[in-house]
Amino acid sequence: PALSEGWSAEKDFKAVGTLSGATQRNLEPVGPHFLAHARRKRHQRTFSEDERI
Amino acid sequence: MSDETNGAPGRFAIGISFGNTSSSIARINPEGKPEVIANEEGDRQIPSVLSYIDGEEYHGTQAKAQLVRNSKNTVAYFRDYLGKDFKSIDATPCHNSAHPQPHESTVAFSIVDSTNEAPSTVTVSEIATRHLRRLKQSASDYLGKEVNAAVITVPTDFSDAQREALIASANAAGLEVLQLIHEPVAAALAYDARPEATVTDKLVVVADLGGTRSDAAVLACRGGMYSILATAHDYELGGSSLDKIIIDHFAKEFIKKHKTDPREDARGLAKLKLEGEASRKTLSLGTNASLSIESLADGIDFGSTVNRTRFELLSGKVFAQFTGLIEQVIQKAGLDVLDIDEVIFSGGASHTPKIAQLARNIFSEKTNILAPSTFASAINPSELAPRGAAIQASLIQEFDKEDIEQSIHPMVTATPHLKNAIGVEITSGEAIEFKPLLNAETALPARRLAQYSAPKDGGDVLIRVCEGVREIKVTKPEPKPKEEKPEDDSDFDSDEDEEEETREIVWKTEKPIAELAVKGVKAGSKVELMVHVNTDLGLQITAREVGGQNAVRGAI
């Protein structure tokens, strides 16, 4: 983090760009973390929703 | 966990690694750790060999011994023939055993497998079924419970036809195949599932050095999930290439003494192969190995020794092929050796100490080389794939068949991955530095949390979230070695070689994404930043002072 001078934005947040795309790849359907990911995807849950269950 | 009381009705699963040369079976023991099961002969690496004498079936080591006296009725190296037609197979490994033959759309062997004299044609699928049935029996006997399901490891280049043929063979052997998983991923899982391992983002090279073939794969491990970035295969390289060196060495010695080449006699060659392999394995553990064969050729007994130094000297070329395969796969993934965090050595030939030592020289000091000779708590390379399979089997054995199928469906596995890393730009004095938070090739959605220390005297803090790319910076040695510039000593300093040029990873900011201000940070405290990336590349960013109440939030 760096000090700033004369910087201002609404609610202290300023969007200046977007991500430059993604590559489509296959995940390996192996391991506990993948299974958790698959569960979220099949039930269309988000991380926090998943944690609550 | 393989809980014996609940689970899908009556399903009891193990992990199987099915190789051309040898196979292994593994389960999760009651303490929750993966454990490779020995068969009734005490072997954990069970040779994938079947042999028939007077209608009786021999399996594993017993069958392998029959390669000398009963080679025509012994079937070996058949895994890669499954689900293939005769034209596309390479029959060289079977030179000294029953030869594969074309049979309808598949491959078959002509062997005498019953008490009557006439040979029968047995398809490779049937051979695989018999082999898997014996593996299943060994596991059932050991566990005292009927094993009826399995997770089986396959190479990454196994075609759909091969997968289907393997599943059909396993079903015929009374095994429900819960899932086929890739060998390198199984190996990575075997390491990551250890209780002392922590989930980190890393790039892993898995070098699977087998008996007759070797495979290498680059995996991106992000948040405990794996994506294969590249694979490379060599179908003629493996432990048998090293055996050949030993065989040739001893054969030459024999010729010098007795003027006949034992390799010209089929039985002599078979004996040399069997004993040569044993000597090579001994050299992985000790520095000396002896070999003694009764009646090697012309009825002459032969005994000799070889030491490791000599073996390593003779094997230089083959070792270079192994390391070449590793370098090739990294190049294929568009990466540099500096990018690799971990090299996992898997497969039987990985026991060879020199191969891991040579790999040690290729990679930087930060890279962990996970092999017995370079890493004290390394897992036995032969056991990685079956252990990984056993872990996966225990995770999914309680699922319904439908659940498993849905979970491994391409709809679920096809996921966008980040192209560039996302991180934070840190300014200290003149130097601007980029610290990655989410690495490239992270599967989405993903979120990461990090803490950064605020400037010493506190105040208002600006966080610039940016996209970054890594570059390899090559510093040529200067005639008079000077001290490194301050911007050079980042966390990514590679080994500081004396005379060679130094190569290191430097991060360049590609483009800014968002700016956040955290105001009134106390002196010496930390700022916490959370970045969440959606599958549609949207971001949610939250920043706050650690322990503070007010958070700055924003979405893109």
Contact assignment for B537 to A18 by CB distance below 8 Å: yes
Mutate to test the interface with B, among A12, A41, A49 (most CBs of B within 10 A): A12
Per the DSSP assignment, residues forming a β-bridge with B243 are: none
pTM: 0.88
Contact assignment for B426 to A32 by CB distance below 8 Å: no
Q: Which residues on chain A are in Cβ contact (under 8 Å) with B420? A: 19-20
Tens of pLDDT, residue by residue over B124-136, are 999 999 999 999 9
Strand boundaries in B61-163, DSSP class E: 74-76, 100-103, 106-111, 120-123, 149-154
The answer to whether residue B35 scores a pLDDT higher than 60 is yes
The band of B497, judged by pLDDT with boundaries at 50, 70 and 90, is very low
Tens of pLDDT, residue by residue over B82-123, are 998 888 888 888 888 999 999 888 899 999 988 888 889 999
Q: Of B452, B512, B533, which has the smallest distance from its Cβ to A16's Cβ?
A: B512
The answer to whether residue B289 scores a pLDDT higher than 80 is yes
Q: Which residues on chain A are in Cβ contact (under 8 Å) with B158? A: none
**pLDDT more than 70, % of chain B:** 91
How many C-beta neighbours within 10 Å does residue B160 have? Answer: 8
Q: How far apart are CA B334 and CA B465, in angstroms?
A: 25
The answer to whether residue B498 scores a pLDDT higher than 70 is no
Contact assignment for B412 to A42 by CB distance below 8 Å: yes
Mutate to test the interface with B, among A30, A33, A42 (most CBs of B within 10 A): A30
Q: How far is A52 from chain B (nearest CA, A)?
A: 17
The band of A8, judged by pLDDT with boundaries at 50, 70 and 90, is low
Computed over every residue of chain B, the mean pLDDT equals 86
Place of tokens 């004498």: B53
Tens of pLDDT, residue by residue over B220-268, are 998 889 999 999 999 999 999 999 999 999 999 999 998 889 999 888 9
Q: By CA distance, what is A14's nearest residue in B? A: B515
The band of A9, judged by pLDDT with boundaries at 50, 70 and 90, is low
The answer to whether residue B7 scores a pLDDT higher than 50 is no
Identify whether the C-beta of residue B327 lies closer than 8 Å to the C-beta of residue B362: yes
Q: Of A12, A31, A41, which has the smallest distance from its Cβ to B412's Cβ?
A: A41
Domains of chain B with bracketed CATH: 13-182+386-411 (3.30.420.40), 197-234+317-379 (3.30.420.40), 239-314 (3.90.640.10), 421-555 (2.60.34.10)
Contact assignment for A32 to B460 by CB distance below 8 Å: no
Q: How far is B204 from chain A (nearest CA, A)?
A: 14
Q: Of B226, B426, B519, which has the smallest distance from its Cβ to A30's Cβ?
A: B226
Q: How far apart are CA A2 and CA B205, in angstroms?
A: 37
The answer to whether residue A53 scores a pLDDT higher than 70 is no
Tens of pLDDT, residue by residue over B140-163, are 999 999 999 999 999 999 999 999
Q: What is the mean pLDDT of residues B355-375?
A: 91
What is the reported pLDDT for B458?
64
How many C-beta neighbours within 10 Å does residue B508 have? Answer: 12
Mutate to test the interface with A, among B513, B515, B545 (most CBs of A within 10 A): B515
Tens of pLDDT, residue by residue over B519-530, are 777 776 778 888
Per the DSSP assignment, residues forming a β-bridge with B292 are: B303
Q: How far is B173 from chain A (nearest CA, A)?
A: 24
Q: What is the mean pLDDT of residues A26-50?
A: 78
Q: How far is A6 from chain B (nearest CA, A)?
A: 11
**pLDDT more than 90, % of chain B:** 52
The 3-state secondary structure of B227-255 reads EEEEEEEECCCCHHHHHHHHHHHHHHHHH
Contact assignment for B413 to A29 by CB distance below 8 Å: yes
What is the reported pLDDT for B489?
44
Q: How far is A45 from chain B (nearest CA, A)?
A: 11
Contact assignment for A17 to B514 by CB distance below 8 Å: yes
What's the token pair of residue B306?
A: 């070889």
Mutate to test the interface with B, among A34, A39, A46, A48 (most CBs of B within 10 A): A34
Q: How far is A48 from chain B (nearest CA, A)?
A: 11
Contact assignment for A19 to B462 by CB distance below 8 Å: no
Q: How far apart are CA B452 and CA B463, in angstroms?
A: 10
Look at A10-24, B286-300, B474-488 and tell me which has the smallest mean pLDDT. B474-488
Long-range contacts of the stretch B311-317 (C-beta < 8 A, 24+) = B311/B245, B311/B246, B311/B249, B311/B280, B311/B283, B312/B354, B314/B245, B314/B249, B315/B242, B315/B245, B315/B354
Contact assignment for A16 to B513 by CB distance below 8 Å: yes
Tens of pLDDT, residue by residue over B217-226, are 999 998 889 9
What is the reported pLDDT for B487?
47
- Provide ipTM, 2 decimals: 0.81
- In this predicted model, which residue has the larger pLDDT, A41 or B66? B66
The band of B213, judged by pLDDT with boundaries at 50, 70 and 90, is very high
Q: How far apart are CA B130 and CA B128, in angstroms?
A: 5
Q: What is the mean pLDDT of residues B1-24?
A: 74
- In this predicted model, which residue has the larger pLDDT, A45 or B515? B515
